[in-house]
Amino acid sequence: MIKRTNPLIAELTTNMLLAINIGNTNISLGLFQGRHLFKRYSVPTKTQGHYAYLRKIISRYKIKEAVICSVVPSACKVIKRDLTKLLYRKPYIIGKDIKVPIKNLYRNPEKLGQDRLVNAYVGAMLYGAPLVIVDFGTAITFDIVSRRKEYLGGMILPGLGISLEVLAEKTALLPKIKLQRPHEFIGRDTKNSILSGVIYGFACLTDGLIAEIKNKIGKIATVIGTGGNIDLIRRYCRQITNIDKDLTLKGLNLIYINRDVSIFSLEQLNRK
């Protein structure tokens, strides 16, 4: 009896792209076949043994190329070296080897985190513009895209976890607690008072900022929530209407697919 291979499985394990988003807390990895996100992984950024983890993934799937977006230069250097050994070719680095094809109106464009620019680009491509993207990661970032799909700028705030850590470090009596949902709005013990203040406080702050941003760029602006803590806070934010946890990975894949956009063309775009 001839054993037939499922053509879908065969296709999904051929010429796959490994997209890697290196954040301050976690590294997200996505396996793409064309536009399809096939697998998603996450590991702590500070974990040792990334080489063995990458080797396991690459040996299981027929990965030919990789693309990296990073806000941690030291981790990016190590993972770039590891991937070069495993793939026998250098991975693409966003901002160096591939430019994000969006007009960047930041006062100093080179100072903008590439992950924020990736989110702005893919958000506008997938959801339209004007657009507000709120990323609940180690830091909380707001990124604003005009109706002309230009990156306008944004805001940066301390993240939920950082806020809890600072309260414990900078006060004598407040304890260090784990980030989780509060059991009550009006806290009746120290733990729930802190959790309520952080979760409800940042939710109200988020809704307020989004309302003000919409006054600037248009009431019809789409709002996307993403980042590692979006599942925790999404139920408390009334202004966030779309959730896309894989936004950055999707952006890396889309930029890779459209990587033939030349630097010259991008420079022309930014001069307009």
Which CATH number do you get for residue 27? 3.30.420.40
Domain assignment of residue 269, yes or no: no
User: What pairs with residue 133 in β-bridges?
Assistant: 143, 224
The bridge status of strand 222-226 relative to strand 242-243 is parallel
The pLDDT assigned to 48 comes to: 79
The pLDDT assigned to 197 comes to: 97
User: What pairs with residue 42 in β-bridges?
Assistant: 28
Domain that holds residue 151: 123-246
Domain assignment of residue 240, yes or no: yes
Domain assignment of residue 167, yes or no: yes
DSSP per position, the chain = -PPPPPHHHHHHTSSEEEEEEE-SSEEEEEEEETTEEEEEEEEETT-S-HHHHHHHHHHHTTEEEEEEEES-HHHHHHHHHHHHHHHSSPPEEBTTTB---SEE--SSGGGS-HHHHHHHHHHHHHH-SSEEEEEESSEEEEEEE-TT-EEEEEEEEE-HHHHHHHHHHH-SSPPP------S-SS-SSHHHHHHHHHHHHHHHHHHHHHHHHHHHH-TT-EEEEESTTHHHHGGG-SS--EE-TTHHHHHHHHHHHTTTS-HHHHHHHHH-
Q: Is the pTM of this model over 0.75?
A: yes
Q: What are the 10-residue block averages of pLDDT along the chain, 272 residues in total?
A: 43 75 95 93 87 90 93 94 94 95 94 96 96 97 97 97 95 94 95 96 98 96 96 96 96 92 46 50
The pLDDT assigned to 261 comes to: 58
235 and 162 within one domain = yes
195 and 83 within one domain = no
Domain assignment of residue 2, yes or no: no
Domain assignment of residue 226, yes or no: yes
Task: State how far the Cα of 243 lies from the Cα of 258, in Å rounded to an integer.
Answer: 24
The answer to whether 260 and 96 have CB atoms below 8 angstroms apart is: no
- 2 CB contacts (<8 Å, ≥6 apart)? none
The pLDDT assigned to 14 comes to: 57
* Angle between helix 114-127 and 247-257 (nearest 10): 80
Q: What residues are annotated to the active site?
A: 115
216 and 164 within one domain = yes
Q: Kindly state the tokens that stand for 42.
A: 């996450």
Domains of the chain: total:
2
The pLDDT assigned to 249 comes to: 97
Domain assignment of residue 209, yes or no: yes
